[in-house]
Amino acid sequence: MFRYFCFLLFSSIILYSQDNQNIESQIESFYNHSLTNGKSYEWLEHLSNQIGGRLSGSLNAERAVRWSKEELEHLGLDKVWLQPVMVPKWVRGNFEYASIESSTGNSIKVSICALGGSVATPNTGIRAEVLEVKSFEELKKFGIDKVAGKIVFFNRPMDPTKINTFSSYSGSVNQRTKGAEEAIKYGAVAVIVRSMNLSNDDFPHTGSMYYGSAKLRDRIPGAAISTNGANLLSSMLKLDPNLKFFIKQNCQNYPDVLSYNVIGEIKGSEFPDQIILVGGHLDSWDLGDGSHDDGAGVVQSMEVLNQFKSLGIKPKHTLRVVLFMNEENGLRGGKTYAKIAIKNSEDHLFALESDAGGFTPRGFSFDSSDSAFNKIKLWKQYFKPYLINEFYKGGGGADIGPLKSMGTVLAGLRPDSQRYFDYHHSSQDTFEAINKRELELGAATMSSLIYLVDIFGF
Amino acid sequence: MFRYFCFLLFSSIILYSQDNQNIESQIESFYNHSLTNGKSYEWLEHLSNQIGGRLSGSLNAERAVRWSKEELEHLGLDKVWLQPVMVPKWVRGNFEYASIESSTGNSIKVSICALGGSVATPNTGIRAEVLEVKSFEELKKFGIDKVAGKIVFFNRPMDPTKINTFSSYSGSVNQRTKGAEEAIKYGAVAVIVRSMNLSNDDFPHTGSMYYGSAKLRDRIPGAAISTNGANLLSSMLKLDPNLKFFIKQNCQNYPDVLSYNVIGEIKGSEFPDQIILVGGHLDSWDLGDGSHDDGAGVVQSMEVLNQFKSLGIKPKHTLRVVLFMNEENGLRGGKTYAKIAIKNSEDHLFALESDAGGFTPRGFSFDSSDSAFNKIKLWKQYFKPYLINEFYKGGGGADIGPLKSMGTVLAGLRPDSQRYFDYHHSSQDTFEAINKRELELGAATMSSLIYLVDIFGF
């Protein structure tokens, strides 16, 4: 009996260690494949340089839908389809101009861009005095007497001392998203927001803004000013508090238009009704070509399915890639996808999003129960050779967020964040800012996690 | 007695946790200071853009010596001095040209650069058939019959599947350093080496080469060809094995000249005779401005002493910064420094080098006894908030290597390595390739380790 027990124990140790070796070698093959035969870089070159910026509702967004569907079809997946989504359509227009006009009659042009969703200025522009504030509390203290008739200048910088730059972003971005809504309450005529950028440079960074419940006729224009421009304006205001700011932009909101989420899948061999989702968002802002935000996430997600096909791995669960439309200014793709999944009672076991740039992967954030997270943490060992160390609880991603109500375990790829906000939402987010190896390592890291979820489940 | 024991235990737990909090807050202050008031980026801007590439023996190298000495003097250190070092002087010359000439008479220009230390070609250049090899073994198999009179083309690429790109580099760089020495044995007339670069692009990457015991009159020219050029040449050779390669370069070796290591120190308050050293190398190759290799390490090392002064931290041990001369083509600075330290019986407790680029820091490699390393590993906890995870045994750095014989614990900063060889030794190693935050995080990470060594010792 004792010998039998020893035999069993010994056998299972051998089996376990063989299994472990198989897993390690499978994961190694993802990295080797990605770094030598991966398609992500070539795909991104096309998406960025041949298509370009692809704001929801634009012709380029439709080109991106068509191209990515075709590329997924070339992979020989079991099914590829388009999921219709109505998306907002906002167009920047052909004119954006701003200058600081001193009391003594000098004028200095500064670099601005309209915020996504903003209304236009009158054709003749807006010229007004400027009130600089760092927060909504400060704005409230000034009140209607000091604010009415002025341009409110939100100038709270991103905190440079946060190591994770997304924390710096969270700490400042309400100025952009809700600044106009707040300033309207006190009679401001426009808002200028310091760009969400940790570098000092001349590039304005756009992004979405919302008017809350403000009536259409009360809405005021919102624009981002480059960090150099913001520093200049702030220092000039100290010398010349009565200077005027002139701004003119002719962006426009249109009625919603039809667009699509692009979806492809490999049917699971054992649990075809349980879905493992991987995705990023196909739309981008219009100033750059959206290589980091989120071209990288799109091609990395496509690459995960390419790797399973190329390496001949048959997933037990259904492996689905979703390229979401309209993350940037409405999240309609993510919301529509979840609504339909819930309606059809689809079982989503796991969803992984890559939407933090194509930089060296450092780990994942997980939005899950403690028990699932405890299981996931055991997999960290497999990532050690690839210098993937950060497994922590946090958000998965905007597009997959609406799946949370179904109990889906959510995860987000966390690449190194130091350079992200140099590019984010600006003309600097282009293919030249992508490093091939960093992008490919991200794709392999995603494939590895997906593979572990597929074999171990939760 | 029991109560007294409990009191002691409780007190020491409180003291320990207070100490720990002090250490954590001190380390936090290094990061905050570096990211908000650090000098490293401004210093590097000067070194890269106002001085530029600074090959040993060049006027720019002397300008860098003078400038860095002055900057250290501005910090108010206890002592700043120059340590004389005789260095090799090699000059690229004003002419580098190469082309592939097909049997049918077509000619295609390709991008090359002379390797550091190479002799010139004759004034009329060298035109010869090409033998492509991947290794010295392959070269040996071809033997004198196949090699004599030809240009040997070393074309073993860096292995893209290594996660740490320095491992890929180690696996290929002998083609550059010893390729000519080997090819001379079989009567080759020149060597062309595939650039040490993981990207496919048009930039040749220089670096040192040596002739071993080959006599002066037997030496043959060595040049690097860009990776795109190497791929082109290789594919043309398959179609046209008798094509000729033409190369012309007029680089030159001169007698050794006088230069300097630049040194500054803060005297230790408790152990002034025990030295903690931090450094990088001041010289660089001449094609770019040496921002990553090793301008970054220079300014980060200077920043460590700046931080101790600015934050009012008085080190217990003597804290010394050494900016080594001639790491790239001779290591004379490092060798001379160690020779003098040994002669003067100076006690070097610890030496840290930064010479792997100014990218996001990931950890340190340590060249030490197991007992020292076991102690160091306990400090890893302090780096967790800064995403510094990699503590492993490995080399410290070329310049500090010669201190090993004294029993000094050596360490090297290990930044993310994915982009390094895109820039290394090429015209692409410029200030534009530096990200301010990544550079600053490296400096703070170095200050933190130096601080821990100072308070805990080994």
Strands (E), A189-312: 190-194, 222-225, 244-249, 252-266, 271-281
pLDDT score for A16: 64
Per residue in A180-230, pLDDT (tens digit) is 999 999 999 999 999 999 999 999 999 999 999 999 999 999 999 999 999
pLDDT score for B18: 73
Residue extent(s) of CATH 3.40.630.10 domains in chain A: 31-90+255-456
Output the CA angle A329-A332-A333, nearest 5 degrees.
Answer: 115
Mean pLDDT of A20-38: 97
* Nearest CB to B199 within list A165, A389, A436: A436
Cβ contact A418–B362 (<8 Å)? no
Per residue in B259-273, pLDDT (tens digit) is 999 999 999 999 999
pLDDT at B8 over 90: no
pLDDT at B1 over 60: no
Per residue in B287-334, pLDDT (tens digit) is 999 999 999 999 999 999 999 999 999 999 999 999 999 999 999 999
At B3, is the pLDDT very low, low, confident or very high (cuts 50, 70, 90)? low
pLDDT score for B14: 61
Question: Average per-residue pLDDT in chain B?
Answer: 96
Cβ contact B438–A418 (<8 Å)? yes
Rg of the Cα atoms in chain B = 24
Which amino acid appears at position A167 of this protein? S
Residue A405's CB is within 10 A of a number of other CB atoms, namely: 9
End-to-end Cα spacing for chain A: 34
Contacts with B281 (C-beta within 8 Å, 6 or more apart), sequence order: B294, B297, B298, B323, B324, B325, B326, B327, B328, B333, B334, B355, B398, B399
* Nearest CB to B387 within list A31, A163, A436: A163
SS3 B195: coil
Alpha-carbon distances of A294 from A198, A306, B131, rounded to whole Å = 19, 18, 45
- Of the candidates A171, A191, A173, A195, the one whose C-alpha atom is nearest the C-alpha of residue A182 is A191
Residue B83 CA to residue B343 CA, distance in Å, equals 14
pLDDT score for A133: 98
By percentage, how much of chain B surpasses pLDDT 70? 97
Which residue's structure tokens are 């821990």?
B452
- For β-strands A390-393 and B79-91, DSSP reports them as unpaired
- By the 8 A CB rule, do B131 and B151 touch? yes
Per residue in A9-23, pLDDT (tens digit) is 665 566 667 788 999
Cβ contact A386–B422 (<8 Å)? no
Which residues in chain B (296-335) have CB-CB distances under 8 A to chain A? none
- Write the ipTM: 0.94
pLDDT score for A364: 98
Phi and psi at B55, nearest 5°, equal: -70, 140
pLDDT at B2 over 70: no
Which residue's structure tokens are 């770019």?
B288
Instruction: Tell me the shortest Cα–Cα distance from A29 to chain B, in angstroms.
Output: 10
Mean pLDDT of A46-68: 98
Q: Which residue of A has its CA nearest to B422?
A: A435
pLDDT at A1 over 60: no
pLDDT score for A308: 98
- For β-strands B390-393 and B409-415, DSSP reports them as unpaired
CA–centroid distance for A40 within its chain: 17
Bridge partners, A131 (sequence order): A152
Please give the residue that has the higher pLDDT: either B17 or B408: B408
Which residue's structure tokens are 């701004």?
A247
Q: Which residues of A touch B436 (CB under 8 A)?
A: 199
Task: Check A303, A327, A353, A440 and give the catalytic one.
Answer: A327
Instruction: Provide the number of CB pairs (under 8 Å) joining chain A to chain B.
Output: 63
Residue A330 CA to residue A259 CA, distance in Å, equals 13
* Nearest CB to B416 within list A31, A389, A416: A416
Q: Which residue of A has its CA nearest to B31?
A: A161
* Nearest CB to B161 within list A32, A362, A387: A32
At A7, is the pLDDT very low, low, confident or very high (cuts 50, 70, 90)? low
Alpha-carbon distances of A208 from A263, A327, B195, rounded to whole Å = 25, 10, 45
SS3 B234: helix
The CATH classification number of B93-250 equals 3.50.30.30
Per residue in A68-103, pLDDT (tens digit) is 999 999 999 999 999 999 999 999 999 999 999 999
Mean pLDDT of A223-243: 98
Cβ contact B198–A437 (<8 Å)? yes
Rounded (10°) angle between helices B59-74 and B296-310: 10
pLDDT score for B17: 74
Please give the residue that has the higher pLDDT: either B130 or B3: B130
Contacts with B227 (C-beta within 8 Å, 6 or more apart), sequence order: B157, B194, B195, B197, B199, B200, B201
Q: Which residues of A touch B32 (CB under 8 A)?
A: 161
Instruction: Tell me the shortest Cα–Cα distance from A380 to chain B, in angstroms.
Output: 13
Per residue in A104-148, pLDDT (tens digit) is 999 999 999 999 999 999 999 999 999 999 999 999 999 999 999
Which residues in chain B (329-368) have CB-CB distances under 8 A to chain A? 360, 362
Per residue in B403-435, pLDDT (tens digit) is 999 999 999 999 999 999 999 999 999 999 999
pLDDT score for B452: 98
* Nearest CB to B163 within list A198, A199, A385: A385
Residue B160 CA to residue B176 CA, distance in Å, equals 18
Cβ contact A360–B31 (<8 Å)? no
Q: Which residues of B are catalytic?
A: 327
Contacts with A95 (C-beta within 8 Å, 6 or more apart), sequence order: A248, A249, A250
Instruction: Tell me the shortest Cα–Cα distance from A251 to chain B, in angstroms.
Output: 33
The CATH number, out of the four listed (3.40.50.720, 1.20.1530.20, 3.40.50.300, 3.40.630.10), of the domain defined by the range B28-90+255-456: 3.40.630.10
Q: Does A210 touch chain B (CB under 8 A)?
A: no
- By the 8 A CB rule, do B367 and B396 touch? yes
Architecture of domain A31-90+255-456: 3-Layer(aba) Sandwich (3.40)
- By the 8 A CB rule, do B191 and B179 touch? yes
Cβ contact B360–A416 (<8 Å)? yes
Residue A65 CA to residue A72 CA, distance in Å, equals 11
Residue A235 CA to residue A231 CA, distance in Å, equals 6
Residue extent(s) of CATH 3.50.30.30 domains in chain A: 93-250
Contacts with A28 (C-beta within 8 Å, 6 or more apart), sequence order: A385
Per residue in B355-395, pLDDT (tens digit) is 999 999 999 999 999 999 999 999 999 999 999 999 999 99
- Asked which of A282-286, B4-8, B185-189 is least confident by mean pLDDT, the reply is B4-8
Q: Which residue of A has its CA nearest to B416?
A: A360
Residue extent(s) of CATH 3.40.630.10 domains in chain B: 28-90+255-456
The two structure tokens encoding residue A119: 């209304």
Contacts with A420 (C-beta within 8 Å, 6 or more apart), sequence order: A165, A166, A292, A356, A357, A359
pLDDT score for B12: 58
Q: Does A99 touch chain B (CB under 8 A)?
A: no
The two structure tokens encoding residue A431: 């293919």
Mean pLDDT of B196-201: 98
Per residue in A273-321, pLDDT (tens digit) is 999 999 999 999 999 999 999 999 999 999 999 999 999 999 999 999 9
DSSP characters for A188-209?
A: -SEEEEE-S-SS--S-----B-
